[in-house]
Amino acid sequence: MTVLSLKICPVLFLLPALTVGAEHVKGLVGGRVTLPCTYSVTGGATSTCWGRGHCPKSKCLDAILWTDSDGKKVIWNHTERYRLLGNITQGDVSLTITQLTLSDSGTYCCRVEIPGLFNDLKIEIQVRVNDNDIGKTVNSTPAISTTSEAVPHSSASFTEPSLNPAKASTQLSITDIQTASPVNINSYYFPHVIVCVVLLLFLFLCLAGFLYKYKYYEKLKTKVLSTAQASNRDM
């Protein structure tokens, strides 16, 4: 029974360190995207880092942005193209990448350092940047539209050259960018709680089975001894 407990305990111990499944975000060269990452600040704001590649066991590999230990402000970013435009103190640490290039495609890791052993929230996001070929469309008098450089707080926006009315539907279908919704930390922990409950129930059933077999063999042993003693007296 002790061996079974030792095998199950590490599983329960490491469950909170699981990584949230990767989200997918698309963008166009020269545009911008927002990579969603939020957490609950019930226990207070905390440090966050963003990095390229998959989330490691600790910190961020190939880090591109860090906040301070109190989670109140950005203390370092690899380039000004990486910004946190949400309310950082309220747990919105979504990363906005501006002036996209093809090299920005790949995996990004958001790591929130939640107090406690192996409690960090890790979110992986896949970014795909497509080349913008709309400007190469043959048009004798193309009309070019421009917008302000102000970056919105809620989601990413993209500016494309406007086409003539006959091509409007084509432009809309190409520039329609899908962004993933923020991940709620409550939905992150709920599956882990269910798994813990199931494992604890399994552990309890194993213990009950062990005790039942132990008592059964004790009774059998007593019965055999009694039979042997009775046989000796008869002899």
pLDDT tens profile 28-85: 999 999 999 999 999 899 999 999 999 999 999 899 999 999 999 999 999 999 999 9
Crossing angle for the helix pair 2-14 and 185-234, to the nearest 10 degrees: 180
Residue 185's pLDDT is 54
As a whole number of Å, the CA-based R_g of the chain is: 29
pLDDT digits (tens, 9 = 90+) for 162-209: 545 444 444 444 444 444 445 555 555 566 678 778 888 888 888 888
3-state secondary structure of 166: helix
**Closest by alpha carbon to 177, among 155, 161, 162?**
155
Q: Looking at the domain assignment, is residue 7 inside a domain?
A: no
Q: Mind giving me the DSSP string for 189-233?
A: HHHHHHHHHHHHHHHHHHHHHHHHHHHHHHHHHHHHHHHHHHHHH
The CATH number covering residue 120 comes to 2.60.40.10
**Closest by alpha carbon to 108, among 93, 89, 119?**
93
pTM (2 decimals)?
0.52
Task: Tell me the residue range of the domain where 222 lies.
Answer: 186-235
Check pLDDT > 80 for residue 5.
no
The domain tally of the chain equals 2
- Together in a domain, 47 and 157: yes
3-state secondary structure of 98: coil
Choice between 222 and 86, residue whose per-residue pLDDT is larger: 86
Choice between 36 and 5, residue whose per-residue pLDDT is larger: 36
- Together in a domain, 176 and 194: no
- Together in a domain, 166 and 190: no
Check pLDDT > 60 for residue 22.
yes
Residue 151's pLDDT is 44
Biggest alpha carbon distance in the chain? 120
Specify the residue for token string 């000796």.
Answer: 232
Beta strands in 29-160 (DSSP E): 33-35, 48-52, 63-67, 74-77, 82-84, 95-97, 106-112, 121-130
**Closest by alpha carbon to 189, among 37, 15, 38?**
15
- Together in a domain, 196 and 85: no
Residue 158's pLDDT is 45
- Together in a domain, 210 and 122: no
- Together in a domain, 128 and 32: yes
- Together in a domain, 43 and 152: yes
Percent of the chain with pLDDT over 90: 43
Check pLDDT > 50 for residue 145.
no
- Together in a domain, 132 and 203: no
**Closest by alpha carbon to 152, among 86, 210, 218?**
86
- Together in a domain, 167 and 66: yes
Average pLDDT, the chain: 76
Q: Looking at the domain assignment, is residue 73 inside a domain?
A: yes
